[in-house]
Structure 1
């Protein structure tokens, strides 16, 4: 009997369903939604900006974004766009092409609405490049560009359009994240009339906040 009991126990263990891991979370660092959590889906190319990088970025920008119009072009989890909304931005448009990621953005935003944002938040399931091409010159103040790293062409085309659309005279700028393997000079060359006023490198990520002479 002992032999068969051992066989049955092994079989039961092999057929036992694996426990599903709880969804990953990132937290909003400052503002009205400080310490609130955003659910992160496990999707290809989805790579939330880390707490450390976001904290540095919003130190660069200043803690209060009151009145700024913001675009989060490849929103993913919404960590950047929701952080801007939390800090008083007048308008934040989060763009996400992937259907499940966009649905998750909407679900995260619904949970945040227990403490409504000061400004307007729009979540659009749209192609970011097509959207920004349709925007008027100097119609936004702060543009976040953090596309999937495996497609460098997405970043290049978005950055070139952002230079036309962004007006940072009242604050803001163009924030770009890219892989640490890519030379910073390549990204700077896409924005000849802007300068990388702030820069950091953390692990596999480089980040620049570009500002114009107006900012």
Structure 2
């Protein structure tokens, strides 16, 4: 018996969103039951609207918050399959991080006709060509960036400890902790708050 997948579309380009909905109206294997245009709206809708599949745009607004949303969703709702939609070409870092963040598959918007087939594969849990291998490759690469003290530092930051508290606990100077934090940030080329990196590393499984 053919199961009709419930799909949420996360897309901030309203014209593109309407176009996708129109194009997929006749598809029998799935139904777009919800459309939102931000990461926050997506996470809020999931609390009220169970879905099987999410079509997630990578660029939401001016940032790649689709990647962040994918990591949050895959961590909280591991049974939902997320298919990334992107207009970015030749961006290997984004492509690779999408899988590390838990994406089931990745489709360029210029090839959106592939989406029904990918949804059908997702509904029977068919393994994708690149997903598992890329996820392991990127995971291993990031895991090698961290030594045991880096992991301890990020765990303490994740717990909400201040740099002064970490210095006191470790019997080192505050300046030593600051330098260590900066080294960790540099390893990941991270420009955002340190706690956000700690949260990401936790969800990636790097702190286990």
For the aligned pair, the TM-score class normalised by the smaller chain equals: 0.3 to 0.5
Structure ranking higher in strand proportion:
1
TM-score (norm 1): 0.38
Structure ranking higher in helix proportion:
2
